[in-house]
Structure 1
């Protein structure tokens, strides 16, 4: 009775349902993708689900990570997910792994499962999972989502390509955006997680996946799907090719030049002399020292919260050196100069959410100093407005 509606499907039937019961799936990441994926796999009767996540449930997860609740804040995500799925289907064995996947444990874990679903949100983990699946001969159902877009494909399946066939070289770390930086609509990542579940169920029940050599792209803004045919498995691929050179797992953080986490990145582009802490900036404000506070976040973030004394010029506008914005900044500097002794340089403090973009802005402003902008000293406010909220003003909105 539980599975009667899907048992009626000619492509599934009793034989397919028994296949689902005898299939095990490892879900790497119990976040926005992993939650709807695991939810539908458990509902469909997958026999065993491995639920792997190193992180704990946070308030900012709940708009998209639908297995977690306000009551499970602080719990390991793997444990929170396992509890929710067990309440849904007690016959599915849920195995939580509260740990970070690494070169030391990936093969041992992946070899225990029939299918792997990559629901991670960082490049090192994608390479790690791919290589471990190739070395273990496991199909890999992979998806991603950011802002209003999503992608899905199946790697190492029926002679198709692996992740390295398509991306032999990782992207520069500074070009990679995650949900913490770029944002994502919960339903978009939910759509992609559901599509992942669909492909896992098709493979598990003996049906053919649609995306063994296809990339599915979802544009939520226009409500459109489109498929791109991917190039075939590459004979020269270092892990799945004819003469592979990657025969064991590597240090993927070093290979990618970035951390195996989807947490907000922290850049260190400036010297200590070019930065001030939020406590030091608070002292400057309290002393009434004349200065200019430049907020370089996009307007959509400034609308969420901002310090009332700040002016806003987004980093992108500074990078483009658009005339209107530079003219506006010059005007503000000139106004402040009138309040100060003529021989003094105008202090400009730059702020953003976490202190990353603001460092880039300081470098840009220093390059403009003496040409476009004159008589200024520029410093970054370390760790930005979220540090202000944590250490100076607990009532300041966090996001």
Structure 2
């Protein structure tokens, strides 16, 4: 048992039963980005995911029993890799993580204080196959703006639900890729929203700006981005 593991069981004022519940809890985190990183960090900080191989359970400096822990677990799911523009807000990643799968980078960072954390990294995204209604007694909401958690008690399963009720009328989901014409992630390079004659390259724009041709250049980025930098004579147009 490393010192950090021992500290979880020696939290002043905590009840042994409460600490045991944490050690027997498992969490699946979808996304290892701006919200998944702090969520995973705080969950690990509470002791979820700890893996203790044969250790004494210590409560107020008294040895209670001797047993093996192998119950708690954390899963990370994300399809993306770490990019430089992620580092300022996805704090489990650093410069050495650039190019790595986010789930790999996050798992390495979470295990850095103590290697005895049980963390599974899954590089994937949820597709239409295997999706279902959210069934469970509680929903955990995480507010990334204020780093706050809120636990909401859900209603019991609706027997009249058209998807998961006793007599469902929707028995299969639409294929997201087929319906939208693009992959359900932001890395689909094949997506094409404009025709070739509706596009302009940076080189073509530079030639137009150097010529006497009259045109209007609209910048549809946010006000803050426009204030940071903008092309000469461009006009800010907030598209909503």
Question: Taking structure 1 as the reference length, what is the TM-score of the superposition?
Answer: 0.45
CA distance in 1, matches of 2:31, 2:42: 15
Distance 1:246 1:279, change over 3 A: same
Aligned ranges 1:285-324 → 2 under 5 Å: 285-286=209-210, 288-297=211-220, 298-315=222-239
Q: Which residue of 2 aligns with 1:15?
A: 17
Q: Structure 1 residue 212 and structure 2 residue 153: aligned? A: yes
Structure 1 residue 79, shift from structure 2 partner: 0.4
| Greater percentage in helix | 1
The question of whether the paired residues in 2 share the 8 Å contact of 1:133 and 1:140 is answered with: no
CA distance in 1, matches of 2:113, 2:180: 38
Structure 1 residue 278, shift from structure 2 partner: 2.4
Distance 1:89 1:140, change over 3 A: farther
Structure 1 residue 259, shift from structure 2 partner: 4.5
Q: Deviations over 1:245-297 (max 9, x none)?
A: 445665244567774225699772x54333322232223234x1322232232
Distance 1:253 1:264, change over 3 A: closer
The question of whether the paired residues in 2 share the 8 Å contact of 1:57 and 1:74 is answered with: yes
Provide structure 2 residue ranges, at least 5 long, that are not aligned to the other structure: 1-5, 49-71
**Which SS does the other structure have where 1:293 is aligned?**
coil
Distance 1:44 1:248, change over 3 A: farther
The question of whether the paired residues in 2 share the 8 Å contact of 1:42 and 1:89 is answered with: no
**Which SS does the other structure have where 1:99 is aligned?**
coil
**Which SS does the other structure have where 1:281 is aligned?**
helix
Backbone CA RMSD of aligned residues? 3.4
Q: Which residue of 2 aligns with 1:78?
A: 103
Distance 1:238 1:73, change over 3 A: same
The question of whether the paired residues in 2 share the 8 Å contact of 1:295 and 1:314 is answered with: no
CA distance in 1, matches of 2:45, 2:87: 21
CA distance in 1, matches of 2:28, 2:124: 13
**Which SS does the other structure have where 1:17 is aligned?**
helix
1:236 to 146, 160, 182: 160
Q: Structure 1 residue 251 and structure 2 residue 175: aligned? A: yes
Provide structure 1 residue ranges, at least 5 long, that are not aligned to the other structure: 108-127, 144-149, 151-186, 200-209, 214-230, 317-399
CA distance in 1, matches of 2:9, 2:77: 30
CA distance in 1, matches of 2:236, 2:39: 40
CA distance in 2, matches of 1:138, 1:250: 27
CA distance in 2, matches of 1:25, 1:257: 33
The question of whether the paired residues in 1 share the 8 Å contact of 2:219 and 2:234 is answered with: no
**Which SS does the other structure have where 1:276 is aligned?**
coil
**Which SS does the other structure have where 1:240 is aligned?**
coil
Structure 1 residue 103, shift from structure 2 partner: 4.2
**Which SS does the other structure have where 2:160 is aligned?**
coil
Q: Structure 1 residue 2 and structure 2 residue 4: aligned? A: no
CA distance in 2, matches of 1:258, 1:238: 27
CA distance in 1, matches of 2:126, 2:39: 19
Q: Which residue of 2 aligns with 1:94?
A: 119
Aligned ranges 1:60-71 → 2 under 5 Å: 60-71=85-96
Question: Taking structure 2 as the reference length, what is the TM-score of the superposition?
Answer: 0.70
The size of the alignment, in residue pairs, is: 210
Structure 1 residue 66, shift from structure 2 partner: 1.7
The question of whether the paired residues in 2 share the 8 Å contact of 1:43 and 1:88 is answered with: no
CA distance in 1, matches of 2:11, 2:180: 42
